[in-house]
Amino acid sequence: MPRPYASGVIDVPVDQVWNRLKDFGNISAIATAIEHSELVGEAGVGAVRRLTLGGGATLEERLVPHHATFALSTISRSC
């Protein structure tokens, strides 16, 4: 089964990046394609956020540890 993967470089100091990303449930504040985001349950590793995309599609992501960084795994979506 194909596994989606995306990667990118953000050309700002790491402290600025983490200050924006650490609010895991509020990604819609910086990602314009996401109309609404909310934390489902507790914050921290294992946290789940529900995203509403343009057109009403929804997506849930879980924050999972990945080596010395973090990765996201999609746990549900609707189109």
Residue 70: per-residue pLDDT? 64
Q: How far apart are CA 41 and CA 39, in angstroms?
A: 6
Domain-located, residue 57: yes
- Give how many domains the chain has, as a whole number: 1
Q: Give residues with Cβ within 8 angstroms of 27, minimum separation 6.
A: 21, 34, 37, 49, 51
Query: Could you tell me which residue, 73 or 56, shows the higher pLDDT?
Result: 56
pLDDT in tens, 6-43: 777 778 888 887 787 778 888 888 888 899 999 998 88
In a domain? residue 2: no
Decide if 56 is inside a domain. Answer: yes
Domain holding 69, by residue range, is 33-79
- CA atoms of 23 and 37, how far apart (whole Å): 11
* 53 part of a folded domain: yes
CA 63 to chain centre: 7
pLDDT for 68 beyond 70: no
Determine, yes or no, domain membership for 75.
yes
Question: Cβ atoms within 10 A of the Cβ of 51, count?
Answer: 21
Q: Give a yes or no: residue 62 inside a domain.
A: yes
Task: For residue 67, tell me if it sits in a domain.
Answer: yes
